[in-house]
Amino acid sequence: MEEDKNKTKTQNPMTIITSDDLVREILKFLPAKSLDRFKSVSKHWRAWASIEIQSALKFLVVDQLPSKVEEDSNAITLLLETFSRDHDNNGQIRPSLSRSCTISDYSIEESQRNVILVWGSCDGLVLISFYALIRDMNFYGNTFRYDGFKYIYLINPKTMEQRTLSLASLKKTENQRGPVSSFPISVGFGKDIITGSYKVILMYLYKPILVNASVRITVLSLNSGEQRNAGVFPVFFYHIPDELTSVYVNGSLFWLIGDTPTRLVAMDLHTEKFRLVSLPNWYTKYSRGMRMWSLNDRLCLSDVLQCSDLDVWSLQQEDPYEKWEKIYTFNISNIGCLDQRFWKLGLAAAYFRRSGRSRSNGDFLDYLRTTVYTPTLISPYRL
């Protein structure tokens, strides 16, 4: 009889039922590598780990709110606005969510003359910094220049969790061959798809007193905290615009260089090596409205000054060859009715066509404060 009871217990083990909310809360505290394992279990688990609401990309606008800064003199409050398609209003793209995020290590006095730049996004994490924007009066009128920054912030807009990277520990002073700029002139962010390591790319000006000053690269691995030199950027500082930002695509960072621009530079985040990528055959020296972004893990280019019907060209990478292929043509005359994937492209087109300005004017802030991200539960501290 006792044996039968033991058999019954063995054959009918106790089942623990866990609510979806509790599972999501547990996933919130797991590192990125663990989340990747969960994604491979099933489509249902992949949806939980990614939290891709309505299978649509969201848009993050990071803006400064001086009137909402908390009383703490070493804090600044940001407004994060998420844009998505409003299906109840003829598909118009509108702000669907607005939340605030307080950063406690930034002084209000500095923030009042600073602007926010979004350096990039990867796996739902967004990298930003505060730049001092200084107005210069000269023969050509008002121009702006950036005066460096002290911190880099890695933010998860879904969970509002943030991680501060202090540049004091990354600060460059001198090396054996000459002076290096104190703080980065540009920053990139992405993921090594071979090892799963998230990396921040810091660009420092080398020998700034020379016309052909070079730019040296430092790589910071967020998983291990390791910092190392990755050589010299393959373009002189003279050709690099003030607001140089990169686009992360499938394990590589890409930069458009020059005001026209004239070069496309790529960095493999696994090998940490640079290469030059040929521009599309339609490119000319008059293509001042060229914009670059990631679409379905593929690098895309468009000239937003082309016409109302905009072409989208995608870089096809088939080792050892690379070629450009036109994958879309769409009308960009009404930004509010654009597919969400192209909304930021429409923002750039509206700016350029309204003002007739090039991106070197320095007041291209709405575009620079906006990025595309996919909501996730990945923690900036558990990479």
pLDDT at res. 234: 80
- The CATH number for 128's domain is 2.120.10
Q: Which of 314, 367, 318 is nearest to 115 (CA)?
A: 367
pLDDT at res. 315: 93
76, part of any domain: yes
198, part of any domain: yes
Rg (CA), the chain: 23
380, 373 Cβ separation under 8 angstroms:
no
19, part of any domain: no
The 214-221 sheet, strands edge to edge: 186-191, 198-206, 214-221, 227-232
Pick the most confident of 2-16, 246-260, 286-300: 246-260
Which three-class secondary structure state does DSSP give residue 32? helix
Provide the domain limits for residue 321. Answer: 51-373
Pick the most confident of 104-113, 143-152, 173-182, 258-267: 258-267
46, 55 Cβ separation under 8 angstroms:
no
Report which of residues 57 and 297 the model is more confident about.
Answer: 297
Token duo for residue 366: 């709405």
Domains of the chain: total: 1
266, part of any domain: yes
Give the pLDDT mean for 34-60: 48
145, part of any domain: yes
Pick the most confident of 2-6, 60-64, 179-183: 179-183
Pick the most confident of 34-48, 57-71, 125-139, 215-229: 215-229
| Cα–Cα distance, 120 to 5 (Å, whole number) | 61
pLDDT at res. 319: 73
- Tens of pLDDT, residues 5-31: 555 444 544 555 545 555 555 555 555
Report which of residues 186 and 337 the model is more confident about.
Answer: 186
- Tens of pLDDT, residues 63-92: 444 333 344 445 566 666 665 555 455 555
The DSSP H or E segment spanning 188 is strand 186-191
Burial 297-320 (b: 16+ CB within 10 A, else e): eebbbbbbbbeeebbbbbbebeee
pLDDT at res. 304: 74
Torsion of CA 161, 167, 168, 174, to 10 degrees: 160
Q: For residue 128, is pLDDT > 60?
A: yes
Residue 379, CA atoms < 13 Å, CB-side half-sphere: 11
pLDDT-wise least confident of 219-233, 278-292, 315-329: 278-292
32, part of any domain: no
Burial (CB < 10 A; 0-12, 13-18, 19+), residue 85, is: buried
9, part of any domain: no
- Which region, left, alpha or beta, applies to residue 250 given φ > 0 means left and ψ of -120 to 50 means alpha? left
Give the pLDDT mean for 284-303: 80
Cα 344 to chain center, whole Å? Answer: 13
CB contact set of 346 (below 8 Å; sequence gap of 6+): 332, 335, 338
18, part of any domain: no
Which three-class secondary structure state does DSSP give residue 182? coil
Torsion of CA 135, 110, 202, 29, to 10 degrees: -140
| Cα–Cα distance, 102 to 35 (Å, whole number) | 27
Q: For residue 280, is pLDDT > 60?
A: yes
Share of the chain above pLDDT 70, in %: 46
